[in-house]
Amino acid sequence: MKKIVSGNEAMAYGALRAGVKVVSGYPGTPSSEVIASLLEMDLPGTRVEWSTNEKVAFEVAAGAAFAGHRALCTMKMSGLNVCYDSLIGVAYSGCIGALVVFVADDPGVSAGMCEQDTRMFAVMSDMPMLEPCSLQEIYEMTVSAFDMAEAIGGPVFIRLVTDNSQSHGVIEVEERVQPKADAPMPPYDPSKYTKAGAAICMRQHRDLIARLDAAEKYIADKDLNKLDLKRQGGLGVISVGITNGYLSEALERLGEAGADVSGISTLRLAATIPYAKGGITSLLERCSKVLIAEELEGLIEKYCFMEAYKNKLDVQFLGKEDGTFSRIGQFDALLVENGVRKALGLEAAASNLKDKPERLCAARPIGFCAGCPHRGTYMGLEKGLNASGFKKEQVFITGDIGCTILGSCPPFDILWTELSMGASIPFAHGVAYSGIPSPVIATIGDSTFFHAGISGLVNAIQHNIDMIVVILDNGWTAMTGMQVNPGTKQDFQKGEWKRLDIEPLLRGLGVENLWSVDAYDVNAMGDATQKALKLPGVKVILSRRECAIQATRHKVKYAPIAFETAKCVGCKKCINVTGCPAIELAGKVIAIDSTQCNNCGLCAGVCPTKALRAAG
């Protein structure tokens, strides 16, 4: 059956075709739609969940694979950093069923995180990593990844990048394979599934390396890597995953431009790891020059240098080492074309542009949506700081991942750091030890708090650190596209899922000074901040209000804000303080864009002439 899907959805369908029993993950752009699309489907016999964090998600999937089933775990590259400890343990142990780990990298950083090359994790864990290119390939290689994982007895990575995970097109989908309903008891085998003792660990290491060799054989048997040898002594090009498509387009463009590309040998790889020893050696023997087109790090390139040295082959390499390609940013067809042009001694393709058109573009800083409750929290926080005699720039406040980090943008400019999920609390803890002349405050969103914030808070409570923790609870994992998290209202939890309320959790952790405030109530947030600043130890302010976008989607209505143009003196305080995108300037006075405004009332609170007024 033909279907229009995104790359991530293609993977979801591939997993269903492979008979997947368990799918777990944590949201993260550009990986989220695998689970998001599966949660929209009725899939009796398959368990799909957003887990608390990637480590938990991985362990859930690994458990299912341990028990003999097929399991998929999904995450963005940052998530792989989180789950790596367990991942490498399972890589060493192997599993009975099939465990596939999907990770999405983001060369070119469209989603704002470290531009890391996750292939390095495949090197470190000796796990095979399939890298499909087209949407159909994503679907088919997902099935292959499960088959390979089962065949070699160990977990397999499948890696996409933003360009193919977020692409949409048509694929041919076959029927879902129903997973087994249950499984027999797995064998009791501590020598495989624990790390008890050096002998066990080293035997597992040996097995791990053998599994990677088996994966190399599997890939060769299935002919997943495509070697096309042409002229002896000519140019060879190696591409992998997404760059396979870039290479095809580049060669086509060169052909259209009149270049002779018929003598160019190509090796299009379906995987960096395991290294395609046979294919690479054949290419190096055939060609005198080899261009390696891989995004981010030069992994294949370094392997090529080594193979050439081992085999005493005199090959000139073009790639990262000679500066043909950068380790930074994403590739496209033109970049690869210019790489081939350089190798052929041709001039780079001519540009249309004399100047950069973007130089005239208005800067468009990101900021909170109209009605965002976080806006109220930061306004209240600043109010409380000011009332306690501090200017906001005098107070050290850490930020965390998610929408809450937009407090680092204008007009708030109140957050100093953004590190990784949950890091705001321990990072502030460390700064509190340093003796800087400032109160120390950590801010964190609800999903981030559940993800990795709790352990940092426990640590701060145990060590009795003088700090304030502000939890901005909007009830959703919002920035990645509104996923359900443990704190999301019960009405929106799926099936048997159960909501966990953060407030009793905090009380249970022994937080004695806890204020629960409405994020739209700037005064309450200000008061809580003032009180908290005077007290020793860990204080927590839980600032709550549902995400404005989600609230609007399910028809939550607030009493309308009244605006009297005659009373507006054009002081622009509402714009300067709230930065709300629903407020515009209409000549000398302001105007409210009713299509955006959700009547949160935060602007009314700062209007000095009562031109803006909350009803009632």
Partner 1 sequence: MSEYFDIYTVGVGGQGILTISDIITLAAVEKGIGVNFFPTKGMAQRGGFVKAQLRLGREQGLYSPSISEGGADLIVSMELSETLKAVRYGKRGADYVVLGLRWQPTAVMLGKAPYPDEHQVAGEISAAGGILHYLDPADIPSYMRGNLYTLGAVCAHSRLKEFFSCEDIERIIADRWKKVAESNVATFRAGYSASLKTL
- Using CB under 8 A, which residues numbered 239 to 298 contact partner 1? 242, 244-246, 248-249, 252, 256
Query: Shortest gap between Cβ of 374 and partner 1 (angstroms)?
Result: 11
| Residue 362 is a binding residue for partner 1 (CB under 8 A) | yes
| DSSP labels, 51-69 | -SSHHHHHHHHHHHHHTT-
Q: How many residues does the chain have?
A: 616
Token reading at 432: 């509190």
Query: Shortest gap between Cβ of 583 and partner 1 (angstroms)?
Result: 9
Residue closer to partner 1 (CB basis): 306 or 348:
348
Helix ranges, 470-547 (H): 502-508, 522-534
Among the listed residues 575, 589, 606, 613, the single contact to partner 1 using CB under 8 A: 575
Token reading at 375: 């806006």
Helix ranges, 126-197 (H): 135-152, 162-165, 190-193
Residue closer to partner 1 (CB basis): 113 or 500:
113
| Residue 189 is a binding residue for partner 1 (CB under 8 A) | no
Among the listed residues 41, 114, 585, 615, the single contact to partner 1 using CB under 8 A: 585
Beta strand 316-318 with 289-293 is: parallel
Q: Candidates 13-21, 121-129, 365-373, 512-520 — which segment interacts with partner 1 by CB under 8 A?
A: 365-373
Residues 512-551 that bind partner 1 (CB under 8 A): 549
CA-CA distance, 310 to 328, in Å (whole number)?
29
CA-CA distance, 314 to 529, in Å (whole number)?
69
Query: Shortest gap between Cβ of 122 and partner 1 (angstroms)?
Result: 22
The dihedrals phi and psi of 456, each to the nearest 5 degrees, come to -65, -35
Site mask, partner 1, residues 201-240, x = CB under 8 A? ----------------------------------------
* Residue from 392, 428, 396, 395 nearest 412 by CA: 392
Among the listed residues 24, 53, 81, 166, the single contact to partner 1 using CB under 8 A: 166
Residues 410-449 that bind partner 1 (CB under 8 A): 410-411
| Residue 133 is a binding residue for partner 1 (CB under 8 A) | yes
Residues 78-97 that bind partner 1 (CB under 8 A): none
CA-CA distance, 317 to 145, in Å (whole number)?
31
* Residue from 129, 98, 124 nearest 269 by CA: 129
Please check whether residue 473 is in contact with residue 450, taking contact to mean a CB–CB distance below 8 angstroms.
no
| Residue 552 is a binding residue for partner 1 (CB under 8 A) | no
CA-CA distance, 62 to 444, in Å (whole number)?
29
Collapse the DSSP code of 74 into the 3-class scheme (helix H, G, I; strand E, B; otherwise coil) and give the result.
strand
Token reading at 396: 């050290």
CA-CA distance, 80 to 71, in Å (whole number)?
16
Q: Candidates 74-82, 214-222, 313-321, 333-341 — which segment interacts with partner 1 by CB under 8 A?
A: 333-341
Residue closer to partner 1 (CB basis): 441 or 551:
551
Among the listed residues 210, 334, 509, 589, the single contact to partner 1 using CB under 8 A: 334
Residues 449-478 that bind partner 1 (CB under 8 A): 478
Name the strand (E) or helix (H) holding 464: none
| Residue 369 is a binding residue for partner 1 (CB under 8 A) | yes
Among the listed residues 63, 89, 153, 169, the single contact to partner 1 using CB under 8 A: 169
Please check whether residue 542 is in contact with residue 517, taking contact to mean a CB–CB distance below 8 angstroms.
yes
List 5's β-bridge partners, or say none: 169
Residue closer to partner 1 (CB basis): 207 or 332:
332
Among the listed residues 81, 164, 324, 599, the single contact to partner 1 using CB under 8 A: 164
| Residue 364 is a binding residue for partner 1 (CB under 8 A) | yes
| Residue 109 is a binding residue for partner 1 (CB under 8 A) | no
Residues 478-507 that bind partner 1 (CB under 8 A): 478-482
